[in-house]
Amino acid sequence: MVNEFSRIKRLPPYIFSEINKLKDKMRLEGKDVINMGMGNPDLPTPKHIRDKLKEVVEKPGVGRYSVSRGIIGLRKAQSKYYERRFGVKINPETEVAVTLGSKEGLANLAQAISSPGDFIITPNPSYPIHPYGFIIAGASLIHLKTIDNGIFDPETYLRRLDRAIRSSVPKPVALIVSFPSNPTAQVVDLNFYKEIIKLALKYKVYVLSDLAYAEIYYDNNPPPSILQINRSKEIAVEFTSMSKTYSMAGWRIGYAVGNKKLISALTKIKSYLDYGAFTPIQVSAAAALNGSQKCVSDVRKIYKSRRDVLVNSFGRSGWNIPSPSASMFAWAPLPKKYQSKGSFKFAKDLLLKANLAVSPGVAFGDYGEGFIRIALVANEQRIRQAAKNLRNLNL
């Protein structure tokens, strides 16, 4: 009998596990833990989306298997969204696949396009599925440092990327970009994407863009899509999600859009693994995309207000946090008192002494050390309470 499994052995220890166990233990003891660790929206799904689900779920036949690549109505709705939001025309038949959240899409595309011996360029720090999806697929990683002292410099990043591609033997199969970034909340402009596409075409490397936070932005500066760049669909695919935009994280609906070959590969893998999301959920997602977008602007205003409360109240308690311009996260440098102790120690102390759960930066990669990711998933009153609790640490 085999006692060890090679793919499981390749996965590193889950650094969140000790924090999560401690958090659960404290809650069982009756402690009031303020959870700002996981990016799990606390806002309700808008009423008109819930109402559509209730309506459709009563119709005959909807409990049958659905379509693994997504019903045509939803693929058309996503295509219309791209034209409306980015001015990009998308063929719903060949350039869109509906996924069970962007995480599933990224992981299954990794299975479709990579094998043991292949190299993938992944950002570091990064949302865990970016590297782990390819680790599970058997590929090897090239970790690309994205920030220096908390700052993202596009020119430095592009130089590092060019050097990483040129020095890799064999040539990388794909590179992953993710802006607005999870965890760092960094944003880029179309000029940056032009350079990414130029390099990808030059070296014949696919680009996988994670745009999960396309609609969570502040200061009237909407993030662009890499598919706005000329010739991008020759080499790029982009992932988006309903989770944060419409507070539908548990509904598990996302999309892959772009290069026909990559969409075809993802669709084929999915046809062997799933039958798509529950049809009423897909119909409700289409209603969300096709309906009024006031709910999206309302969500954006709530996150912006929470961001401002976080920055101001935590600052008064001794922890200065840079104000993010997009995403639902703040990427905060460790206070001076903890700079030599590390992000895991600080996260643990925040939980034990301030009843505040956050994510240590090292959980997102070695280059995330020295930082904490804070999710804006608590209301303003709870954020102020967290700031008050911070004073227990005498920062």
In a domain, 24, yes or no: yes
pTM for the complete prediction?
A: 0.94
Amino acid at 89: K
In a domain, 263, yes or no: yes
Among residues 290, 318, 352, the one where a domain terminates is: 290
154, two tokens: 């596009």
User: 214-260: per-residue pLDDT in tens?
Assistant: 999 998 899 999 999 999 999 999 999 999 999 999 999 999 999 99
User: 294-343: per-residue pLDDT in tens?
Assistant: 999 999 999 999 999 999 999 999 999 999 999 999 999 999 999 999 99
Domain hosting 40: range is 6-44+295-393
- 248 shares its domain with 368: no
Report the CATH number at residue 176: 3.40.640.10
Helix H segments across the chain? Answer: 6-10, 16-28, 47-57, 72-86, 101-113, 129-137, 154-167, 190-203, 260-273, 279-290, 294-316, 343-354, 380-390
In a domain, 1, yes or no: no
Task: For 308-347, give the DSSP string.
Answer: HHHHHHHHHTT------SBSSEEEEEPPGGGTTT-HHHHH
What is the percent of the chain where pLDDT is above 90? Answer: 90
In a domain, 156, yes or no: yes
- 158 shares its domain with 206: yes
Number of domains in the chain: 2
In a domain, 51, yes or no: no
In a domain, 370, yes or no: yes
User: 348-380: per-residue pLDDT in tens?
Assistant: 999 999 999 999 999 999 999 999 999 999 999
Asked if residues 151 and 129 have their Cβ atoms less than 8 Å apart, the reply is no
User: 96-106: per-residue pLDDT in tens?
Assistant: 999 999 899 99
- 78 shares its domain with 167: yes
- 300 shares its domain with 368: yes
- What was the pLDDT predicted at 13? 67
Report the CATH number at residue 378: 3.90.1150.10
- 11 shares its domain with 38: yes
The Cα–Cα gap between 309 and 311 comes to 6
- 105 shares its domain with 230: yes
- What was the pLDDT predicted at 187? 96
- 32 shares its domain with 100: no
Q: Which residue did the predictor score with more confidence, 202 or 16?
A: 202
- 116 shares its domain with 216: yes
Would you say residue 35 has pLDDT above 80? yes
The Cα–Cα gap between 301 and 298 comes to 5
Would you say residue 284 has pLDDT above 70? yes
Among residues 266, 290, 314, the one where a domain terminates is: 290
- 180 shares its domain with 245: yes
- 147 shares its domain with 249: yes
Would you say residue 194 has pLDDT above 90? yes
> What mean pLDDT is predicted for residues 167-196?
96
Would you say residue 20 has pLDDT above 90? no
In a domain, 49, yes or no: no
Number of neighbouring beta carbons within 10 Å of residue 215: 21
